[in-house]
Structure 1
Amino acid sequence: MSLTEHLQELRRRVIISLLAIVVGTIFGFVWYQWAPGPVMPLGEIIRRPYCSLPEELRADLTSDGACRLIATTPFEMFMLRLKVGFLAGLVVSSPVWLQQIWAFITPGLHKNERRWTLSFVTFAVTLFVAGALIAYFIVDQGLYVLMSIGQEYQIAALSGQQYYNFVLALIVIFGVSFEVPLVIIMLNLAGLLRYEQVKDKRRIIIVVLFIFAAFITPGQDPFSMIVLALSLCLLVEMAFQFCRIHDKRNAKRNNEWASLDDDEASGPIAAPAPIGAATGVAGASPISGAGAVAAPTLISNGGGTQRTAEDRSIRARASAPNFFDDVL
């Protein structure tokens, strides 16, 4: 395909992806407040961790005692519903735009590259979803720890914008953090990281993971931090075990010298063998005799100087007016 044809194909796939996201956003916008049958509305799903807190930790701002968040600006409820609907539409339409991306890059990949790419994408999506689900089910515990501090003097009245930002940030952070073992596996498959390099550094890695979890969690509550750190420690250990098995299989497949460093000898060097005595050079064979060359004829010149007949002939031809025509 030419460059123009590639750009036309890219435009077509981008338009299809955007249309799918728009349709998904409309679906999410409607789903935010209405759902058929036993399915809960999207707003209720997101609000549920907050409403599961004890009543004494939540401000009662309604006359019927219902669990509701507050809005502090006129357009906050509409913008919040639109934001949540867009995120839901992005997730619902993901099979369409992911398929468009895959169809665009597939022609440029070899067969083994397609297999590896599909495997890693599937693994990455699975890890992200697992992290998001864990974050959703522990967000109420994190809120309980944060909102129970100083409850004798204060009571929390969260706005929808603040609460949803906290929940979505926690979900995204957990989902992205769960991709760490995938990065370790990719480095090992690329030959940049070996199990021998990390097997003795587990204590340092665990400390680094706990420090990372303490800084990355949005509320800095100890419960979310501990859950994220322990989950990462478990996933990283699983990735290390994969590296150990992969390195062991590579060592069996390859020769013994394949695992050596560039400056390390593969074995003892044999002693040099003695050099044999030099042999004599055969005598030169005689060259067949060439025909006798006629002796140049000497021509006497008036001034006593003698020249050969060939020299006289060359001088005669050089004096001709068209002697250098072939050169020019």
Structure 2
Amino acid sequence: MELRTRLLWSALFFIVAFFVCFWAAQYIYNFLLIPLAQTMERVGGSQRMIFTAITEMFFTYVKVGAFGAVIVSFPIFATQLWKFVAPGLYRHEKRALLPFLLLSPILFAAGGAMVYYVVMPMAWEFLLGFQTTRAETVLPIQLEAKVGEYLSLVMRLMLAFGFCFQMPVILTLLARTGAVSADGLARGRKYAIVFIFIVAAVLTPPDVISQLLLALPMIVLYEASVWAAKLAERARRKSLEREEAAGLPQPVGGASATGAGSTPAPAGASASAGPVSGALPAPAPASPSAPAPAQAPAPVAPRAAALSASAGSSWLARADGMIDETDFNHSP
């Protein structure tokens, strides 16, 4: 019931954010066009955007509204998820997870900002350099960018950089739980670099500039993840040591119960067992008129031994009688 309520609140906020972003879609799209417009002014060429389908502009604004709603509503969704999960966590688990929850949106925003202010200007200038004029080719080759394709490219770049910038958070959490180790991450560095370049080639446009601009920050973030994993392992070891120290059994009677340097007696031992070495003390002579003292019941083990000895003696006596009788009957 609580989960459904929190999901409904998150969905309601997403719907409201979608309509607000759809109303402001033109302003948001203009903001995303600024790097391309500035590059076109420097490089030259046709400074315009086109759409070739009658519904393309409308669906482009719908995508802008959905893209903006996801970014705006993500903190609300994360907050609702945290409020649902937090009551079932221990205090030390909350302290361990809360910094990562705060760091995750910051790193995502840093990835998007890097795309807007660094990657897009450099990538657009490189790609627009393939334009030609009539003096260079028979016909001039100019960019006629479509609004839908441009938005899809920008969204893919921002999402790719935002999610790739989550690497320190993910690896540090795995190191905190013991799933990975800092030494293992350091040993697998060369494989990680190859994998990073493959991911960068898949997520970025087919140019070397964009691939390097995604791969190099990811390598730096991987090294930062190794360092953060070492800190997480150290914190995990300290936490385990504190838990082990808190779980040590304490003596029941304390030092005063047995005396310093003495070993406590076993649980079943009592004073009636007598000293370890030496004979039992002789009982005091009782007066003739005094009633016989009540005998305490013998322990279970001595009684069983006495019964066994008595039964053995009776059997031996009967056997001796049978032998004597047999010898008497067969005597000449």
**TM-score of the superposed pair, with normalisation by structure 1:** 0.65
**Residue segments in structure 2 that go unaligned for 5+ positions in a row:** 134-139, 245-301, 312-332
Output one character per residue of 1:107-128: Cα deviation in whole Å (capped at 9) or x when no partner. 3333333333332222221211
Which structure has the highest helix share of the two? 2
2:25 alignment partner, one of 19, 23, 32: 32
Output one character per residue of 1:56-91: Cα deviation in whole Å (capped at 9) or x when no partner. 85653xxxxxx4311111111111112212221232
Q: Secondary structure at the match of 1:199?
A: helix
* Contact kept? 2:123, 2:210, Cα under 8 Å: yes
**Residue segments in structure 1 that go unaligned for 5+ positions in a row:** 1-5, 34-40, 61-66, 259-281, 291-328
In the alignment, the residues of structure 1 paired with residue 45 and residue 23 of structure 2 have an alpha-carbon distance, to the nearest angstrom, of 28
Output one character per residue of 1:231-271: Cα deviation in whole Å (capped at 9) or x when no partner. 0111111111122344456678888xx9xxxxxxxxxxxxx
In the alignment, the residues of structure 2 paired with residue 117 and residue 247 of structure 1 have an alpha-carbon distance, to the nearest angstrom, of 14
Q: Secondary structure at the match of 2:143?
A: coil
In the alignment, the residues of structure 1 paired with residue 92 and residue 305 of structure 2 have an alpha-carbon distance, to the nearest angstrom, of 64
- Per the alignment, do residues 12 and 190 of structure 1 end up closer, same or farther by CA in structure 2, a change over 3 Å counting? closer
Equivalent position of 1:193 in the other structure: 180
* Contact kept? 1:57, 1:155, Cα under 8 Å: no
In the alignment, the residues of structure 2 paired with residue 96 and residue 124 of structure 1 have an alpha-carbon distance, to the nearest angstrom, of 14
In the alignment, the residues of structure 2 paired with residue 286 and residue 171 of structure 1 have an alpha-carbon distance, to the nearest angstrom, of 91
- Per the alignment, do residues 74 and 58 of structure 1 end up closer, same or farther by CA in structure 2, a change over 3 Å counting? farther
Equivalent position of 1:70 in the other structure: 50
Output one character per residue of 1:150-187: Cα deviation in whole Å (capped at 9) or x when no partner. 53551110110000000110000111111122222122
In the alignment, the residues of structure 1 paired with residue 4 and residue 183 of structure 2 have an alpha-carbon distance, to the nearest angstrom, of 47
2:33 alignment partner, one of 29, 38, 47: 47
What value does the CA root-mean-square deviation take over the aligned residues? 3.1
* Contact kept? 2:197, 2:211, Cα under 8 Å: yes
* Contact kept? 1:58, 1:156, Cα under 8 Å: no
- Per the alignment, do residues 289 and 143 of structure 1 end up closer, same or farther by CA in structure 2, a change over 3 Å counting? closer
Q: Percent identity?
A: 27
Displacement after TM superposition at 1:225 (Å): 1.0
Equivalent position of 2:155 in the other structure: 168
Q: Which moved more, 1:178-187 or 1:88-97?
A: 88-97
| 1:206 to 2:187 alignment | no
- Per the alignment, do residues 17 and 251 of structure 1 end up closer, same or farther by CA in structure 2, a change over 3 Å counting? closer
2:229 alignment partner, one of 243, 246, 254: 243
| 1:135 to 2:128 alignment | no
Output one character per residue of 1:7-35: Cα deviation in whole Å (capped at 9) or x when no partner. xx3343333222212221222122223xx
In the alignment, the residues of structure 1 paired with residue 127 and residue 306 of structure 2 have an alpha-carbon distance, to the nearest angstrom, of 108
Displacement after TM superposition at 1:48 (Å): 0.8
1:21 alignment partner, one of 14, 21, 40: 14
Equivalent position of 2:93 in the other structure: 113
2:71 alignment partner, one of 67, 82, 91: 91
Number of equivalenced pairs: 244
Displacement after TM superposition at 1:98 (Å): 3.0
Equivalent position of 2:329 in the other structure: none
- Per the alignment, do residues 234 and 58 of structure 1 end up closer, same or farther by CA in structure 2, a change over 3 Å counting? same
- Per the alignment, do residues 208 and 134 of structure 1 end up closer, same or farther by CA in structure 2, a change over 3 Å counting? same
* Contact kept? 2:36, 2:124, Cα under 8 Å: yes
* Contact kept? 2:176, 2:236, Cα under 8 Å: no
Query: Residue type matched to 1:10 in 2?
Result: L
* Contact kept? 1:59, 1:157, Cα under 8 Å: no
| 1:230 to 2:216 alignment | yes
- Per the alignment, do residues 89 and 286 of structure 1 end up closer, same or farther by CA in structure 2, a change over 3 Å counting? closer
* Contact kept? 2:57, 2:147, Cα under 8 Å: yes
What does 1:215-294 correspond to in 2, within 5 Å?
215-217=202-204, 219-247=205-233, 287=307
- Per the alignment, do residues 172 and 289 of structure 1 end up closer, same or farther by CA in structure 2, a change over 3 Å counting? closer
In the alignment, the residues of structure 1 paired with residue 8 and residue 306 of structure 2 have an alpha-carbon distance, to the nearest angstrom, of 87
Q: Secondary structure at the match of 2:39?
A: coil
In the alignment, the residues of structure 2 paired with residue 215 and residue 30 of structure 1 have an alpha-carbon distance, to the nearest angstrom, of 33
In the alignment, the residues of structure 2 paired with residue 99 and residue 205 of structure 1 have an alpha-carbon distance, to the nearest angstrom, of 32
